[in-house]
Amino acid sequence: MKLVGVIGSGIMGSGIAEVIAKSGIDVVIRSRSQETADATKNAIENSLKKQVTKTKITQEQLEAAMAHVCVTSKLEDLANCDLIIESVAEDLATKKELFTALDKVVKPSCILSTNTSTLPVIEMAKVTNRPDKVCGIHFFNPAVLMPLVEVIRPITASDETIALANGFVKACAKDAVQVVDRAGFIVNALLFPYLNNAIAMFEAGTATMEDIDVAMKGGCNFPMGPFALLDLVGLDTSVAILNALHAEFKSANLEPRPMLKKLVSEGKLGRKTKQGFYSY
Ligand code: 3HC
């Protein structure tokens, strides 16, 4: 991969672009406006500056990584990309519209991938004229630190596409696992029932949020408790993931808990809005 396009300038899009640039691959980030595109470039530079301050990387490595980053608000600027990673809102209609447009703009050999957490990749593949070149490439939050990437294979994807996706993940110094196109893939299908049950436990008055978090950190050696993790993932994203899991597997404990939905309706979406289960 010589040039990778990342679409979307949220936490995931920005983190994924940083990983790619640090791996020495050119990345063009497409955001809906030039302002948010420029802000994403600044966010990446600030993240790298923090790593310089902590002596994790050198100033030269920062400059080398930034030389690989460019931003745009125009989809046409992605025309020469070898791979696209879509990381926009978790809404199937939005993603399908984007894949339809991308298919017309990028070169025929370009692989189109989605960073969706749960949506069916096949639905995006079907709106293109290159369903064999569409797959999922799912990074975890925070992308810069999390070692895993899930490579999702819809039934239409060719062996070559999956091999190229795996090669790209390896070039980013991440560990790839391969999974079929089923809601939640591996990680979210196992993680979100646990997160939702933690909220149910708190709603039932079994323990405080703080004590549930302390318990799961100290009792299971998890790096963070379920409420801190929900706030990190984003409560709106968490509702979207649970809804998709519930739609596919129907189990009652996959229905987003009332407290989670209430926080989202109040605009308390977790760390990104500085208020979720906790205040930041
Ligand atoms: N971005 C970049 N660096 C970060 C960061 C972020 N968001 N958060 C923390 N860091 C850095 C810190 O600066 C710190 O660096 P230092 O060691 O040089 O000081 C280092 O990471 C450790 O941070 P902390 O000491 O503050 O906190 P932790 O030791 O708890 O590490 C963590 C932070 C890596 C986020 C860790 O808590 C963790 O692994 N948590 C679990 C995250 C997880 O499970 N993610 C998956 C969520 S599911 C998902 O993403 C799927 C999607 O589809 C929704």
| Residue 68 designated active-site | no
Question: What residues are paired with 137 via a beta bridge?
Answer: 151
Query: Taking 90 as the threshold, does the pLDDT of residue 231 lie above it?
Result: yes
Which tokens is 211 given? 């004590």
Q: How far apart are CA 39 and CA 127, in angstroms?
A: 31
- Structure letter (DSSP) for residue 114: E
Neighbours of 9 (CB within 10 A): 27
Strand-strand pairing, 148-153 and 175-180 = parallel
Q: Which helix (H) or strand (E) holds 166?
A: helix 159-171
| Angle, in degrees to the nearest 10, between helices 258-265 and 235-249 | 140
The per-residue pLDDT for range 173-192, each reduced to its tens digit, is 999 999 999 999 999 999 99
Gap from CA of 154 to ligand 1 centroid (Å): 30
The per-residue pLDDT for range 117-162, each reduced to its tens digit, is 999 999 999 999 999 999 999 999 999 999 999 999 999 999 999 9
pLDDT at 139: 98
Gap from CA of 220 to ligand 1 centroid (Å): 17
Q: How far apart are CA 31 and CA 8, in angstroms?
A: 5
Produce one character per residue of 66-96: b if its CB has 16 or more CB atoms within 10 Å, e if not.
Answer: bebbbbebebeebeebbbbbbbbebeeeebb
HSE-CB at 217 with a 13 A cutoff on CA atoms is 13
pLDDT at 192: 98
Task: Exactly one of 117, 123, 196, 238 is catalytic; name it.
Answer: 117
- Structure letter (DSSP) for residue 76: G
The per-residue pLDDT for range 59-97, each reduced to its tens digit, is 999 999 999 999 999 999 999 999 999 999 889 999 999
Gap from CA of 196 to ligand 1 centroid (Å): 21
Give, using CA atoms, the residue closest to atom 37 of ligand 1: 223
Query: Taking 90 as the threshold, does the pLDDT of residue 1 lie above it?
Result: no
| Position 35 confidence tier, pLDDT thresholds 50, 70, 90 | very high
| Residue 117 designated active-site | yes
Is 149 touching ligand 1 by the criterion CB < 6 Å? no
pLDDT at 178: 97
Q: How far apart are CA 79 and CA 30, in angstroms?
A: 12
Give, using CA atoms, the residue closest to atom 1 of ligand 1: 142
Chain center to CA of 183: 15
**Edge-to-edge strand list for the sheet holding 83-86:** 69-72, 26-30, 3-7, 83-86, 111-114, 134-139, 148-153, 175-180
| Residue 46 designated active-site | no
The beta-carbon contacts of 164-170 under 8 Å, at least 24 apart in sequence, are 164/1, 164/83, 164/111, 165/83, 165/111, 165/113, 165/135, 165/137, 167/1, 168/1, 168/4, 168/83, 168/137, 169/137
Gap from CA of 272 to ligand 1 centroid (Å): 14
| Residue 158 designated active-site | no
Global pTM reads 0.94
3-class DSSP assignment, residue 86: strand
Are 156 and 131 contacting, i.e. CB atoms less than 8 angstroms apart? yes
Neighbours of 165 (CB within 10 A): 25
- Structure letter (DSSP) for residue 206: S
Are 153 and 135 contacting, i.e. CB atoms less than 8 angstroms apart? yes
